[in-house]
Amino acid sequence: MRAELIKRFRQFAIDVALLINDLPKNIVNNTYNGQLIRLSSSSGANYRASQRGKSTADFINKLKIVEEELDESIFFLDLLHFFNIPFQNRMDVLMKEANELLAITVASIKTARNNNK
């Protein structure tokens, strides 16, 4: 499952980058795109780092960062969704994947906390 999630996070970052490459260049898109590209790639990098956590607390801490970055990715995708009607279907797919990754991340945090008691 870990290897599959690493692949999903990687693909999410790639798909976000491909979308961003296709969006029109303007002040709104450029500003939101900068945030989104960092968040989407960083969530995957931090997920990978969580798998090498030195302790349960370290693992949970890294996953909390992933949770925050995914949530913020969804926020910026939603903003871009409003301003880029022709791309809404692609963004819907990305938001669905981000929400699924977020749900998995939150469940992992809860499991790790319960197992650490």
Q: Please give the model's pTM, rounded to 2 decimal places.
A: 0.95
* pLDDT exceeds cutoff 80 at 27: yes
Per-residue pLDDT of 32-52, as tens digits, reads: 999 999 999 999 999 999 999
Alpha-carbon span 39 to 58, nearest angstrom: 20
CA within 13 Å, CB half, 55: 4
Q: How far is CA 15 from CA 18, 39, 56, 61, in A?
A: 5, 13, 31, 26
**Nearest Cα to Cα of residue 87 among 1, 6, 22:** 22
Task: Provide the token pair at 3.
Answer: 């290897």
What is the set of domains in the chain, with CATH numbers? 2-115 (1.20.1440.60)
Per-residue pLDDT of 74-108, as tens digits, reads: 999 999 999 999 999 999 999 999 999 999 999 99
Percent of the chain with pLDDT over 90: 95
Percent of the chain with pLDDT over 70: 99
* pLDDT exceeds cutoff 80 at 117: no
